[in-house]
Amino acid sequence: MQLQDILFSQGFGTRRVCTGLVQQGHVQVGVPEEGGALRDCADPWAEFALQGLRLRVQGVEWEVHAKAYLMLHKPAGTECSQKPSTYPSIYTLLPSPLRLRPSKGAVQGVQAIGRLDQDTTGLLLLTDDGQFIHRMGSPKHHVPKVYEVTTKHPVDESQVGRLLAGVVLDDDPKPVRAAACEVVGAAGESRHLRLTLTEGKYHQVKRMLAAVGNRVEALHRSRIGGLALPADLPPGGWRWLGPQELALLKP
Ligand code: URA
């Protein structure tokens, strides 16, 4: 693929902007055959394979990915919407190429797979692969999601039992139940609950806890399927997902 097209595919601007970046000497390229060592390339039409390609664009290094799959450690006080109403959007935490990647000819950028509330923290996945978003959201694809819940009142065994048996929420007579639920610490004393859900209804954790007479004070998603939020990814930080991590998301 030509270097200008590669830059365009990665979200560095229009083809004209990308051609200009290369011609003006702002782009360095590292290919796997040369150990990834970066060297100048001022020819926008030079051909490179995408696999394992590294770029440095205006001094900033960039891994080339044909499709973007990433995880974000969502901080509190951010909204998952592209057009937030009150708090900053999570998309402001991403570098601009991720927000400007073209998809089917239009600038779309990556999109969050599902949403977390503004005050919820933790693991959020984003991608520009529409089919992947669709698969992950499908009811047939029951990937368990684990939430660390800080409750207002200590959690007792009867609340755990009711969450596992199923509670009725106000918008649907069909009960929703936790796939797993454990009190972290001593039941009747601890305010830390680890809850696993396989669905993603609006405010589901908060509504389930309210239905058993408790209240969520803080909520953190620690895991999706076999993929855990890494301890060394700070709030606001993001990371590319590789094929091995994507495989952990299969149901
Ligand atoms: N359940 C909630 O109540 N809020 C979230 O952000 C996620 C799950």
51 lies in the same domain as 155: no
Q: Give the residue numbers annotated as catalytic, written as ranges.
A: 117
Instruction: Note the Cα 53 to chain centre separation in Å.
Output: 23
The atom of ligand 1 lying closest to the CA of 203 is 3
Confidence of residue 106 (pLDDT cuts 50, 70, 90): confident
129 lies in the same domain as 88: yes
Average pLDDT, the chain: 95
197 lies in the same domain as 240: no
Candidate from 163, 205, 209, 229 with most ligand 1 atoms within 8 A of CB, to mutate: 205
Domain range for 45: 3-63
pLDDT tens readout for residues 33-76: 999 999 999 999 999 999 999 999 999 999 999 999 999 999 99
Taking Cα atoms as reference points, which of 103, 10, 20, 84 lies closest to residue 50? 10
The CATH number of the domain holding residue 74 is 3.30.70.580
Q: Whose CA is nearest to atom 3 of ligand 1?
A: 203
| pLDDT on residue 211 | 96
| pLDDT on residue 140 | 78
120 lies in the same domain as 242: yes
Measured in angstroms, how far is the CA atom of residue 167 from the centroid of ligand 1? 16
Tell whether the model's pLDDT for residue 198 goes beyond 80. Answer: yes
Percent residues over pLDDT 70 in the chain: 100
Q: Whose CA is nearest to atom 2 of ligand 1?
A: 203
Tell whether the model's pLDDT for residue 105 goes beyond 80. Answer: no
The CATH number of the domain holding residue 56 is 3.10.290
83 lies in the same domain as 198: no
32 lies in the same domain as 73: no
What average pLDDT does the segment 96-103 reach? Answer: 93
Tell whether the model's pLDDT for residue 139 goes beyond 80. Answer: no
Tell whether the model's pLDDT for residue 138 goes beyond 90. Answer: no
The CATH number of the domain holding residue 176 is 3.30.70.1560
Cα–Cα distance measured from residue 3 to residue 25, given in angstroms and rounded to the nearest whole number: 13
**Structural domain tally of the chain?**
3
133 lies in the same domain as 236: yes
Measured in angstroms, how far is the CA atom of residue 76 from the centroid of ligand 1? 12
200 lies in the same domain as 166: yes
Measured in angstroms, how far is the CA atom of residue 38 from the centroid of ligand 1? 43
Calculate the alpha carbon distances from 236 to 39, 84, 113, 246 in Å: 31, 17, 17, 21
220 lies in the same domain as 152: yes
In the structure, which protein residues have their CB atom closer than 6 angstroms to any atom of ligand 1?
Answer: 116-117, 120, 203-206, 219
Tell whether the model's pLDDT for residue 166 goes beyond 90. Answer: yes
DSSP 54: E
Residue 15 burial class via C-beta count within 10 angstroms: exposed 0-12, middle 13-18, buried 19 and up: middle
125 lies in the same domain as 149: no
107 lies in the same domain as 218: no
The three-state DSSP-derived secondary structure of 164-185 is HHCEEECCEEEEECCCEEEECC
pLDDT tens readout for residues 22-38: 999 999 999 999 999 99
| pLDDT on residue 142 | 84
Taking Cα atoms as reference points, which of 100, 10, 101 lies closest to residue 61? 10
Confidence of residue 224 (pLDDT cuts 50, 70, 90): very high
Tell whether the model's pLDDT for residue 147 goes beyond 90. Answer: yes
91 lies in the same domain as 197: no
Measured in angstroms, how far is the CA atom of residue 244 from the centroid of ligand 1? 27
